[in-house]
Amino acid sequence: MTTFRAVVIDKTESGQSVDVRQFDEADLMDGDVTVRVTHSTLNYKDGLALTGKAPVVRRFPMIPGVDLAGTVETSAHPEFEAGDAVILNGWGLGERHLGAYAEKARVSGDWLIPLPSGLTPAQAMAVGTAGYTSMLCVMALERHGLGPERGPVVVTGAAGGVGSVAISLLVKAGWHVIAATGRPQEADYLKDLGAAEIVDRNELTGPARPLGKERWAAGIDSVGSHVLANVLSMTRYGGAVAACGNAGGMDLPSSVAPFILRSVALLGVESAMAPKALRLEAWDRLARDLDHGKLAAMTTTMCLDQVPEAGREIVSGKVRGRIVVEVG
């Protein structure tokens, strides 16, 4: 097959265009492994790329999609051979390198890891970068010495992909989870995932006081800006917040008070360029610790043709949980 179906973003005079069309295999970028892609997913970053709401895409034309699962077709990499089941998260896929919303991808074998034992390709993409980032956040809190015995943990952006997986992981680990969301209609969904309390995001969106009432021992934040500032101001002495997103803005209108008066730690979590050893540890934990029933309950499935519209919906805050894209 010399051509295959792909979602393609092109630059136009007024911005960009997005359509699903045939793409020539000869136009794939350099790489030592060619993967037949079977599944992908939709993350907030993918929505930004598809809508052009932020400068995610660095070259045109671009096939978006930062996550893939599939089977190796050809390989010149020593760790992989034809027939291997693999996944890829990040490494500039869908930003600088032609990405996952296509039936084929040519990539560096250094970016790939084997499909985790115990997960199907669809389940791995139900996790995707959002869930993998959630696991990195949980691991960051653990490395800081925090566990359920220290008190509650707050999860912001709770109904989104990062938040949904984070809640499931934290509940299974024994945490009392407080879910902060701007979508009160999702309260039942969040409680089904195991959240013990629901907090209206409006409580966290105003200007933060230097120090607020101590409400939680830890936090996982994917929102940033005022929400992160308020979460920090309300974190208990010696607690920590793992920050991994900026859906609410890149700024942090906070003060040093939580850090120097309550010894609160802000733990930055980055997933796209994380070293392989950390990726393997996170995915091993996900395969073991994530409740497959809850993963299924938070997941919907769509085809490649539905991706452009779904990108608009996730940026507008209309997507709940995780989406698996069936590529083939």
What pLDDT, in 10s, does the model give residues 199-237?
999 999 999 999 999 999 999 999 999 999 999 999 999
Are 137 and 201 in the same domain? yes
Poorest-pLDDT segment among 173-177, 193-197, 244-248, 277-281: 244-248
Across the range 39-62, mean pLDDT stands at 94
d(CA 121, CA 115): 7
Q: Domain range spanning residue 49?
A: 3-115+298-326
Give the domain-ending residue among 248, 268, 288: 268
**Contacting residues for 85 by C-beta, under 8 A, at least 6 apart:** 69, 70, 71, 114, 115, 121
Are 264 and 135 in the same domain? yes
Are 98 and 152 in the same domain? no
**Residue 99, in any domain of the structure:** yes
Count the domains in the chain: 2
What pLDDT, in 10s, does the model give residues 78-96?
999 999 999 999 999 999 9
What pLDDT, in 10s, does the model give residues 69-79?
999 999 999 99
Are 215 and 240 in the same domain? yes
Q: pTM for this structure?
A: 0.94
pLDDT of residue 164: 95
What pLDDT, in 10s, does the model give residues 266-317?
999 999 999 999 999 999 999 999 999 999 999 999 999 999 999 999 999 8
Are 217 and 110 in the same domain? no
What pLDDT, in 10s, does the model give residues 249-265?
999 999 999 999 999 99
* The one-letter amino acid at 6: A
**Residue 288, in any domain of the structure:** no
Q: Is the pLDDT of residue 1 over 80?
A: no
pLDDT of residue 328: 79
Are 146 and 86 in the same domain? no
Peptide bond into 275 cis (omega under 30): no
CATH code for the domain of 234: 3.40.50.720
CATH code for the domain of 78: 3.90.180.10
| Of 321, 314, 320, the residue nearest 50 (C-alpha) | 314
**Residue 281, in any domain of the structure:** no
Cβ–Cβ < 8 Å for 103, 24: no
Q: Is the pLDDT of residue 182 over 80?
A: yes
